[in-house]
Amino acid sequence: MGSNAAEIQLQPQLQHQTRFQTTYMPWASIVLPRISIAGGVIGAILSTTTFPQIVKTSGGRIGGLSWPIWTKMFLVVTPKAGAMKTAQYGLMRELKLALDTVINPSASTMIAFGVVGTGFQSAIYNTLIKDMYRIYTGTKPESKWTMRTVIYGLAPGVVWCFGREAIAMGGGLALGPTVKAGIKTQIDKTGVELPDGVVRFIGGFASGGCTAFATQWLHNTTLMAGRMAAERQTIEAPHYTMSSLTTTYKELGPAMFYSNFPQRMCLIAGAVALLNSIDIFHRPELRLFS
């Protein structure tokens, strides 16, 4: 009797040890390196490609960036962006794999990127914009973070951000396999043999470039909302949904549909290509919250 009671008490501990060995350890050694590489690289690319975009949408408030100021901005922003992108891809992976059991995998990819990416990308871009203005003007950062300031920081342009993330990154990844198959068919006709990883990268870059162009107006409008928040404008705060759209068109005109595209195309196309190549959905059975 005493032996059975001891075994019952040990069961939760044994189950925890088993899950640690079969899930957590493999996840840390297989999944974490993939999302960390993707997050770090894309975070650095995001920082460098967003700086000139913010300058263009600043309405002259930020002039040309000197090398010392650019370097300071990069060193301040990039670690934050890399860490948040890594966390974003980790949570997005969990949500996408969970949704795969109930809906089409392509739809789950877009929804997961839209839902998770909205919060993280809003935080990344709005933090980046805020830091750029702070460093450029020499003002001191806010003394503390509260739940209110966190939520407020996610709010500017949140509607446009959701559409941008779902279609640009989510759509790019969803289209990647189809584009890859088409490219491979054309390459096979020439008799040239390319490694599968190269074809995956090319397919991801092509699909990402297309979805980046389709969402450029959403991106510029989101940046405008971030600028309006950084300037502490009160009209339609904190979301700036319609005011950011009208201000973007007023300042950029039709160029809102293509302004900043070269820089952002490098980010989106490169990110989709990298995620396609690294395959952050490798070993789908390894999930932290299954």
pLDDT in tens, 199-236: 999 999 999 999 999 999 999 999 899 889 878 888 88
The gap from C-alpha 12 to its chain's centroid, in whole angstroms, comes to: 37
pLDDT score recorded for residue 243: 95
CB distance 280 to 39 below 8 Å = no
pLDDT score recorded for residue 229: 86
User: For residue 233, which amino acid is it?
Assistant: Q
pLDDT score recorded for residue 29: 93
Tokens of 214: 């389709």
pLDDT score recorded for residue 9: 52
CB distance 73 to 131 below 8 Å = yes
- Between CA 82 and CA 266 the distance in angstroms is 17
pLDDT score recorded for residue 146: 57
The alpha carbon dihedral of 174, 180, 183, 184 has a sign of negative
pLDDT score recorded for residue 10: 47
pLDDT in tens, 43-60: 998 888 888 888 877 777
pLDDT score recorded for residue 168: 93
pLDDT score recorded for residue 143: 47
- Residue ranges for the chain with pLDDT beneath 70: 1-17, 139-153
CB distance 133 to 62 below 8 Å = yes
pLDDT score recorded for residue 6: 47
Tokens 């990268």 — which residue? 201
**288: DSSP letter:** T
> Global pTM?
0.78
Q: What is the 3-state secondary structure (H, E, C) of 178-232?
A: HHHHHHHHHHHHHCCCCCHHHHHHHHHHHHHHHHHHHCHHHHHHHHHHHHHHHCC
Domains of the chain: 27-278 (1.50.40.10)
